[in-house]
Structure formats: structure tokens, C-alpha cells
Structure 1
Amino acid sequence: MLLGAHRVIVTTDLDILNEVYIKQFHTFQARMIHPSVAIDQENGPQMNVFLGQGNRWKRLRALFAASLTVAKVKSVDPIMKRAHEELIENLRKYENGVINVKPLILNMTFAVISRSAMGINEEFGKSDFLQKVMNAFDRGETNVITERENESLEEKAKRHQDFLDFLREAQEDDLDTTNKADFDTKIPKKLTRDELIGSSQAFLVAGGETTAILITHCLYELALHPELEQIILEEINEHIKTPDDIDYNCVKNLEYLERVVKETTRLHPSAYLVTARRAIESVILQCSDGSSIQIDKGTCILPNIPVITTDKKVWGKDASEFNPDRFLPENSENRHPMAWLPFGAGLRICPGKTLAIYETKATLVRLLMEYKFEFCNETQTKEITKATLGFVELKMKIIPRKIV
């Protein structure tokens, strides 16, 4: 099929996808660009790791990854806890009533990512910038970056360090390219100011809406499966006694909750459209039946993830059922590596995967410690695909509770 100027091949062949993401990654390192966006992926000024290509992408990936280490993800805990408390404060207004949880969850994830990646500290739920970003991916917000550039060391020491600081470190420090022959030595190794803006925007757009959709889908599945929610509550009670205990180390121990999150991404692949890869040169790919297929330069390969994730040949006879235990190590070891692609795969896998799963788990813990979310006669589950796939709205009844 054609999407704008791109020829797009949609496939469920896992061996083809393994060729694209792993074996012949160099040929498919480029992303498919939506026809509404005209951008130079190698030389555009405000390029980011999501859209970059070639040596530009390799360099940005190294700089971006340095800002998303586990240690730096842990540093976001104070920002996340504050956003959680603001979310709970808003939910208290609707206790024992019905509320569309989707916008509140989005306000929470946006607060976390905007405060940690952009230094924007707008009031919870009253962000003009959120509307700008969601409507037009606005790129004009540079005031915070200017403020950071002009602040003194004393001023910096008085506030919490965030992802914007980590990105600015990449702007200030040289990237070690020793023994990295694939880097073009003519390309500057430091993050430029335009790239700093573009990278911050990538955090904001990719880290806000997608995580909110995942959390919303998790609440939906737990309302459908209260028996699984009870297992999660018991696991939470074993590892976490109060909201103050919700941090990276404690949340990491919640293995059943993590399997629930992974199973949710399987049945609700919200960002599947961004997993497409574009060939930068012509190539031949091997298919699972032993045949081969010629791929012309510029052709995009798009995994049909909604079909793959419910394929009984891949996931078993219960593929359409919600079963977190399919992600137990013993049940996953013989599964094709391309069967589960919510964050992509290979070198271009989403660099924010660790943060997204942690934020989802931590938010669910805080919410479930306080409330039970149930369906009501106003609940509708209509979904719509724009850049992502998610519920149009999700109205739920909010019932207060405490874990004893």
C-alpha cells in the first residue's frame, strides 16, 4: 500500500521482522515519516533520537541513552511522587462517583515528563503547553532551556536534577567515540542547542501520551479481571507499606505487576504505527517459508502488531485471553523474539522503555493502594487510532480503599 510518498509493506512474518530489526538493521535504521511531516532526518536542526537517521541518529542515541540510565531514572522519583499525590488529590473529588480517568492520567504523565524533561512546572491539569504539544507538537518553548543556561551553580544546587539537566550534560560534555568506527568524525559530538530542544520535545511527546494510554489500558484490564488485581494487591502489600515506599528499587520487585503490564501491551499495542522501518537502500529479505522478497529503497516495513499479538500459532490457543503468566521466563524462552514489539526491537528499540514500565508500575501501585476502579453504566470502550491507539474515553467508578 501507499502512505503519502512511501510504499509500505504490512507483514506478520516474524522472520522478515527479525531481518528488519536485527540482521539487516543498518539497511532499515530509518523511520517511516508521516506524510504530514517534511523533515531532513540527517541534517534537520532540531533533530531527535526518534526521527534521526544515519550517523546523526547513532550519535543522538548514545547521548540520549546516557540520560536514561537506571540511576537517572531513579532520580525522577521525587517528581513522580509529587505528580502521584496531585493525581490522588484530583481523584478524591470523585470518590464513589464516576470520572473519565483518561485525561487525569494524561495530566499526571505529562506532569512527570514535562517537569523532568523540560523543566516546565505548570499547575497539574492546567497546562497550556500540553494542549500545544498534543495539537501541534509545538517546538517554540525554549524559555526554560535559556533559564537553565543562565542559572548559577548555586541556583542549580538548590533544585532537583532532572532529565533536562542530563541532556544538557550531553550538550556540554564530549562524547567518547574511542573505538567507534561507525561515527563520522566530522559530526560534532556534543549535543547542539537545537538538538537539546528536539530531544526534550521527544521526551515530552513520546513519554507523556503513550505511558498514559498504557496506564489506562491496565486499569481497564484490572477492572475486567478483579482476581488478578487481588494478586497485585497482595504483592504490593508484601513489598510496599506506604506511598513513601514507592521507589524504583521496591517497584522493581513487583514481578507479577510487571507481567500484567507486559500482557496489557500485548493486547493493547497502542504505538504500533511508529514501529515501521524504512529501507535506505534496496535489499533482499528472507521469509519464514524459505522464500525471499525484494525490497526497494524507500520501502517501509510495518509489523501488523495487532494481528501478531493475537496469533494462536505464536501465543497459543488462549491468545485472545488476558494471561500475565505467559510472560513467565519458562513460558517465554521459546517464543520468537519478534512476537512482542511494544517498544520495537534491536538497536532502535525505544530508549525510554525502562522509564515507561517503571512509571506505569509505580502509578498503578499508588492508584491501587488508594482506590478500586470499576466499570459502570457509563463505561464505553471505543478506541481510536491517531498517532497512537487508545480509548476515546474511559469512565470508571472510583471506590476508596486502603490495603491493610
Structure 2
Amino acid sequence: MIAYLLIAIIVVLCFAEVYLNQNKLARKLKKIPGPKDVFIVGNGLEIIVSPVELFKLGRKYANKWKGIYRIWAYPFGAVNIYNPEDIEIVVSTMKHSEKSPIYKLLKPWLRDGLLLSSGTKWQQRRKILTPTFHFNILRQFYVTLEENSRRLVEKLSTTLGEPVNVTPLFSEYTLNSICETAMGTQLSEEISKSAKSYKEAIYKLGNYLVERFVRIYLYSDFLFNFSTLGKKQKKALETIHRFTEKVIHDRKSNFDEQKLIYTDDDDDEHLYVHTKKKKTAMLDLLISAEREGLIDDLGIKEEVDTFMFEGHDTTAVGLSFFLMLLANNKGAQDKIVTELNDIFGDSKRPVSVEDLPKMKYLECCIKESLRLYPPVHFISRTLSETVVLSNYTVPAGSLCHIHIYDLHRREDLFKDALKFDPDRFLPENCIGRHPYAYIPFSAGPRNCIGQKFAIMEMKCVVATVLRNYTLLPVTRPSDIEIIADIVMRNNGPINVKFERRIKKNV
């Protein structure tokens, strides 16, 4: 009898907590339009669907409520925005820079790296890492990117006329590139085998994270760690961390030969400079910072895990969708080739870093592809204070989900928004566009630190591929079925056919 009484008391207390929370936060959020909720669970039951259906559900809500809507899934209340004016309020300053609790799901993987850290720690890490992406350092990386692009072209020569799933190819290309540039590690045959397991583990981990996201009861680390899903995630994380630790170990073993010295420039920004003229890898900066007492071994692991993932997976995804779009838009593909012919003429010389600024139309095409298929399609913050978004008062402590995918497909911002139209990004057509209407690399102080590297990498490999091959459509935009994941992924392969480009200058 006493046991039943205790259970009844616990249930009543839980209901009381829910009621109080709904009065404090949910009641305020309910003034914002959104789906009908159920007592206690709110909209929690609606999101327990497959990754494909979960992505579709977000688009259904975005089409029904223009620019802003709210959801409630105890104990979280969230406002979802895709108005540029609202997005500017949230991301343009450090005021709301703290990532939302949803990113807690990434903690076992990325721990407290640049993506997830906040406050002083984030500022210190950003200061250490910023020099890696200085233009002069990127120029040093370029030779490696170009060499890897030519290797990719050679690999494609064995697939001519056949449908090719380009995602694994680009994943290998971008992983090799980030390892050999930012990490300063050449992928030996032994490491290449581990790299395959690493990539497979990342794909699995993405699925596990989505499964956990839709099952709110698994947000508890205690319950999750004992679940089957938690055990699967642990195994995937062991594979991922083993690979990045190997990369760090190998670079540290050769580090003394690099002889970096730590200096301050006139702008009070820390820089690491080689005593000999050698490439400065991001990992070198981290190792030097460790020897200066600015970061510890765990901190290095955090940043390497973060940049190994962000530096290869997002770019591979962007390239996969881009080639699919070019294969399906012959006119745009031909215009890029004409531009390349103007740059290279009859020469067979490799693409140099000096050629990249001349590829203006190619850059427009890349930007348009990133508009339609932004690799990071969703970011989330915790609002540090009460704000007004779309004329609604949103209370402090609310989660704020920013849907980049829906922002980029707003008809009032991009006419005929579903059409692939690179001319949108010609300079004359960008005049008057809201600065937060297009944010494929996020925006504000916490924007993507590696965006220049990513664009340089995309230009290099696409230019090299198009100088050698014509792209023919297999997978079409109408075939694409996006799944909910930490990055934009298709529910299936993205296939393209390659044919030898018959030109005397190739």
C-alpha cells in the first residue's frame, strides 16, 4: 500500500512539474503558432517517425506557418525560425551564442571542441585556430588539393559510362585532403583502411543521433548508455576516436622536425611561424599551443575530432549534390566549361591557386548548389534573454532552431526558389538581398571558420573534373529524398555518369 502511495506521489509531482513548466515557458510559447499539442508530451509523439518522415515533417510545418512556429516536447520548448530578420537577431552577436541542449547528443563524439564550446573556451580556441585558415596558409594547402583532384579524375576513368555513386568518392577525396592539409598526415595504406571504417562509423553515428533525438526518454545519459542504441554508439565512437588519435600520434611523432615558434603580431593575434619554410598544419598549431600551455591533450583531440568531421563530411555532401545538379543542368555545365576554356585555352596544365578567382561563374554555381542543398541545414541556439521574433515575444531559455534549408527556399527571397539558377549570385543580382537570407556557412561570430577552405576545395576539384569529363544525369532532383541527419543526406545513392570530354585542350 505504501509503495502504491509513493508511486502516486511521484506521478503527481511529475504532473505538477510539467504544469509549472507549461505555465512558465510553454504558455508563453503557445502564443506563437504551431502544431496542436498533447498534454505533458506536447508534440513529442509527432516526431517519433523515420528520418525521412522527420525531415518531411519539418517542411510541412515550414509551409504551414510562414517564417516562425513553435513546438513543445517536454521538457523542451523551441521556436523555429527561417526569417532573415529573426536569424540576424539571434546569430549576429555573441549574446545568444550558446548552442542548444540538442548538441549535447554530440558531446560523446566532439566533446568540447569549437563547434560545441562556448564563452571563454570558445574564444581561446577560435583564436588559436584562426591562423590555420589565413589565405597564405590556404595557398600552401592548395598543392595537396590539386594533387588529390587529379587522383580523383584518374579513378573516374575506370567508371566511364556507368552510374557512379559520387558520395563515397568525394568522401574519400575530402578526408584525404583534410588529413594531408589541416592534419599534416599522409594517409598510408594502413591508415587508409582505418579511414574507411572511420567514414562508415560517422554515417552510423548520424543515424544513431537522429534515433536518440526522436526518443526524448533517451536524452538521459543514464538510460541511453544502457540501451542497445547507446551500445551501438559507443562502438562507433571507439572507431572514430581511434582513427583521430592515430592521426594525432603520427603528427606528434614528426612534430619536432617542424620547429614552430609561437609569436604575437601587431594585432595581438597569436600566430605560429615555421623556422623553416614548410606547410603549417592546423594540428601543428594545436601541438605548439599545447607546449605553450594554452591547450591540453584532450583539447587537441576535441578539435581534431571536430575538424576531421566538419572538414570532410560537409564538403563531400556539398560536392555530391553539386555534381548531381550540374549533370541535370547542361546549360550551367557548359557555361562553366566555357569559362574554364577562357582561363586555360589549349593548355593541359593543372589548375593553380591563381586560377580560382577567375572562376566567377563556377563560384555562382557552387553558391546556388549550397542554397538548394546546404550541407548544414539546421543550427540551434539557446536564447539567453527574452527576444521579439516576427512580432512574438520569445522567453529566455527557449531553444531557437534556425532552419537554413527553409530559409534558402523562401519564394519571397529567391524567385522560383526550387530552380537551379546560378545567375542569382551574379553581383548585380545580390544587391538589396538581406545579408542573412543566405547562410550556408552559418553567420555572425560563430560562422564556419573553414568556409574559404571549403570553397577553394570545391572549385579545384570541380574544375579539374569538368576539364576532363562531361556529367550526365542519373539521379535527378525529383529523386532526392532527404533524411534527417546532422548533415544533409539523401536516402540512397547520388548517381552521376561520366563521359570523356572530347576536346583538344583536355
Superposition TM-score tier, normalisation by shorter sequence? 0.7 to 0.9
Alignment of 1:107-146 (within 5 A): 107-118=172-183, 119=185, 121-123=187-189, 126=193, 127=195, 128-135=197-204, 136=236, 138-140=240-242, 141-146=244-249
Q: Once structures 1 and 2 are overlaid, which stretch shifts more, 95-104 or 137-146?
A: 137-146
**Alignment CA distance shift 1:45-1:277 (3 Å):** closer
Matches of 2:140 and 2:78, distance apart in 1: 40
Secondary structure of 2:493 counterpart? coil
The one-character-per-residue Cα deviations of 1:328-382 (angstroms, maximum 9, x if unpaired) are 2221121111110111110011111101111111110111111112124899533
Match of 2:268 in 1: none
Match of 2:359 in 1: 254
Q: Once structures 1 and 2 are overlaid, which stretch shifts more, 86-95 or 4-13?
A: 4-13
Between Structure 1 and Structure 2, which shows a larger proportion of helix residues? 2
Cα drift, residue 3 of structure 1: 6.5
Match of 1:68 in 2: 133
Match of 1:394 in 2: 494
Cα drift, residue 236 of structure 1: 1.2
Match of 2:120 among 51, 55, 64: 55
Give the share of equivalent positions with the same residue, in percent.
Answer: 21
Match of 1:225 among 315, 319, 329: 329
Match of 2:295 in 1: 191
The one-character-per-residue Cα deviations of 1:153-209 (angstroms, maximum 9, x if unpaired) are 447779854332243344445xxxxxxxxxxxxxx6x23222222111111101111
Letter in 2 for 1:142: E
> Could you tell me whether the CA contact under 8 Å between 2:315 and 2:375 is conserved in 1?
no
Cα drift, residue 315 of structure 1: 1.7
> Could you tell me whether the CA contact under 8 Å between 1:309 and 1:315 is conserved in 2?
yes
Match of 1:239 in 2: 343
Letter in 1 for 2:481: K
Residues 1:301 and 2:416 aligned together? no
Match of 2:306 among 186, 198, 202: 202
Match of 1:26 in 2: 94
Asked which structure has the greater CA Rg, the reply is: 2
Matches of 1:383 and 1:320, distance apart in 2: 15
> Could you tell me whether the CA contact under 8 Å between 1:243 and 1:366 is conserved in 2?
no
TM-score computed with the length of structure 1 as normaliser? 0.84
Match of 2:423 in 1: 325
> Could you tell me whether the CA contact under 8 Å between 1:263 and 1:324 is conserved in 2?
yes
Match of 2:79 in 1: 9
Matches of 1:244 and 1:33, distance apart in 2: 50
Match of 1:178 in 2: none
Match of 2:165 in 1: 100
Secondary structure of 2:158 counterpart? helix
Matches of 1:384 and 1:169, distance apart in 2: 40
**Alignment CA distance shift 1:215-1:253 (3 Å):** same
Letter in 1 for 2:79: I
> Could you tell me whether the CA contact under 8 Å between 1:47 and 1:198 is conserved in 2?
yes
Q: Once structures 1 and 2 are overlaid, which stretch shifts more, 376-385 or 328-337?
A: 376-385
Match of 2:251 in 1: 148
Residues 1:312 and 2:382 aligned together? no
Secondary structure of 1:26 counterpart? coil
Cα drift, residue 60 of structure 1: 1.1
Secondary structure of 1:340 counterpart? coil
Matches of 1:310 and 1:100, distance apart in 2: 26
TM-score computed with the length of structure 2 as normaliser? 0.68
Greater relative contact order structure (CA < 8 Å, 6+ sep)? 1
Root-mean-square deviation (CA, aligned residues, Å) is 2.9
Match of 1:267 among 372, 388, 391: 372
Match of 2:443 in 1: 345
Matches of 2:374 and 2:258, distance apart in 1: 42
> Could you tell me whether the CA contact under 8 Å between 1:4 and 1:35 is conserved in 2?
no
Cα drift, residue 244 of structure 1: 4.6
Letter in 1 for 2:145: M
- How many pairs were matched up? 377
Cα drift, residue 308 of structure 1: 2.0
